[in-house]
C-alpha cells in the first residue's frame, strides 16, 4: 500500500489531542475521517510523529498515511483540506518510502511556548497570561539547567515502567518579543506533560519563587512539587519535527505578535 508523508498545522483548542480516541474529537480522528471520505475507503496506517495533548496546537505536525488511491498527491491534498474543519490544515502531502515512519524516523522535535505579560483578547487562545511580573533574564539562566541528558521523571505523569524517562534536551531558549516571553525547547523527544511542567517551573523562577538551584534539585529525583506548576496547553505549539538532513530551527519567533 502506498505511503504518504503528511505535514499539517492545527489549532488544538477544540480537540482532545492528536491520538484517535473513542467518544472524543481528536485531530487524527478528523484527518482519518476526511481521508476516508475523499478516498471512499478506510485508510491504512495513520501515525503521527508524537501525541500532542488536549488543547495543544501544532505549526508542523508530521504523520505517515498508507492509502490506496489513484489521485495525484496535489489533488488528494486539496480534497482532504476541503473535508477538514477550518482549524486543521494539511500543508504538504507527498509520496514516501514505505520504511518512512513519522515517529521513529524523527531525530528531534521543537516546541514553542508563549507567555503573555499582559491581558489579551485576540491572543487568548494562544498564550498563557501570567499576571505577576516575570524576570526573563532569570528564566533564561535557569533554562540552561535543563539542557543535556536528564531524568525528567518529576516532569511527567508517565509511568516509568512504560519506558525510560530520560530525555536529551538539546537547547532551551528564552527571549522577549513585545509583550510575550517565548520559550523554545529542542530535544530528542518529550514525555507526557514534560514541556508544560518545564515552562511552569521557569515561570516560578521568573516570579522569584524558585531559583537555578531548584531546577537542579527537581531533576535529581521524583517530586510532587512540579505537578501544580503545569502550564496550560493554550500557549504550547509543536513547532517543528526534524528528520535526518533537516536544518535546525532558525531564530525564535512568535506565532502571533503581541505589542507591549
User: For the segment 189-203, what is each residue's pLDDT rounded down to a tens digit?
Assistant: 999 999 999 999 999
Same domain, 129 and 182: yes
How high is the pLDDT of residue 160? 64
How high is the pLDDT of residue 222? 82
CA–CA gap between residue 234 and residue 9 (Å, rounded): 15
The total number of residues written for the chain in this structure: 260
- Which residues are 183's β-sheet partners? 113, 174
Annotate 214-255 with DSSP letters as a single string: HHHHHHHS--SSSGGGPPPGGGEEEEEEEETTPPPP-S---S
How high is the pLDDT of residue 78? 98
On whether the CB atoms of residues 115 and 181 are closer than 8 A, the answer is yes
On whether the CB atoms of residues 112 and 252 are closer than 8 A, the answer is yes
Spell out, as residue ranges, where the chain has pLDDT lower than 70.
159-162
> CATH number, domain at 211?
3.30.70.660
On whether the CB atoms of residues 186 and 109 are closer than 8 A, the answer is yes
Last residue of a domain, one of 60, 77, 96: 96
**Does any domain span residue 249?**
no
Sequence-distant (≥ 6) Cβ neighbours of residue 251 within 8 angstroms: none
> CATH number, domain at 83?
3.30.70.580
**Does any domain span residue 239?**
yes
Same domain, 33 and 111: no
Reported as type and span, the H/E element at residue 115 is: strand 106-116
Same domain, 121 and 230: yes
Same domain, 133 and 233: yes
* Secondary structure of residue 107 in the 3-state scheme: strand
Active site residues: 53
CA–CA gap between residue 134 and residue 93 (Å, rounded): 41
How high is the pLDDT of residue 161? 61
> Beta strands of 117-204 (E only): which ranges?
128-129, 148-151, 166-177, 180-187
How high is the pLDDT of residue 162? 67
Same domain, 146 and 220: yes
* Secondary structure of residue 194 in the 3-state scheme: helix
Nearest to 114 by CA among 127, 124, 123: 127
Q: Model confidence over 51-81: pLDDT tens digits?
A: 899 999 999 999 999 999 999 999 999 999 9
On whether the CB atoms of residues 183 and 174 are closer than 8 A, the answer is yes
Place of cell 518510502: 97
On whether the CB atoms of residues 112 and 183 are closer than 8 A, the answer is yes
Residue 124 sits in which domain range? 107-243
Query: How many domains is the chain built from?
Result: 2
How high is the pLDDT of residue 221? 81
Amino acid at each position: 500500500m502506498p505511503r504518504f508523508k503528511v505535514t499539517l498545522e492545527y489549532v488544538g483548542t477544540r480537540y482532545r489531542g492528536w491520538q484517535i480516541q473513542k467518544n472524543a474529537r481528536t485531530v487524527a480522528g478528523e484527518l482519518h475521517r476526511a481521508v476516508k471520505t475523499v478516498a471512499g475507503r478506510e485508510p491504512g496506517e495513520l501515525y503521527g510523529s508524537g501525541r500532542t495533548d488536549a488543547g495543544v496546537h501544532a505549526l508542523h505536525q508530521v504523520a505517515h498515511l498508507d492509502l490506496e488511491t489513484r489521485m495525484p498527491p496535489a489533488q488528494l491534498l486539496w480534497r482532504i483540506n476541503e473535508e477538514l474543519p477550518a482549524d486543521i490544515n494539511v500543508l504538504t502531502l507527498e509520496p514516501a518510502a514505505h520504511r518512512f515512519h513519522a515517529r521513529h524516523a524523527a531525530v528531534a522535535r521543537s516546541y514553542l511556548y508563549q507567555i503573555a505579560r499582559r491581558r489579551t483578547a485576540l491572543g487568548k487562545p494562544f498564550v498563557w497570561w501570567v499576571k505577576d511580573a516575570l524576570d526573563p533574564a532569570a528564566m533564561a539562566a535557569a533554562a540552561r539547567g535543563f539542557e543535556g541528558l536528564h531524568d525528567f521523571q518529576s516532569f511527567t505523569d508517565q509511568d516509568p515502567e512504560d519506558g525510560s524517562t530520560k530525555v536529551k534536551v538539546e537547547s532551551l531558549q528564552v527571549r522577549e518579543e513585545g509583550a510575550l516571553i517565548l520559550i523554545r525547547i529542542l530535544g530528542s523527544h518529550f514525555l507526557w506533560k514534560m514541556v508544560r511542567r518545564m515552562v511552569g517551573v521557569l515561570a516560578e523562577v521568573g516570579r522569584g519563587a524558585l531559583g537555578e538551584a531548584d531546577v537542579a534539585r527537581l531533576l535529581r529525583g521524583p517530586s510532587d512539587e512540579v505537578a501544580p506548576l503545569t502550564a496550560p496547553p493554550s500557549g504550547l505549539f509543536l513547532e517543528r519535527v526534524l528528520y535526518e538532513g533537516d536544518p535546525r530551527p532558525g531564530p525564535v519567533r512568535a506565532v502571533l505578535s503581541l505589542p507591549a
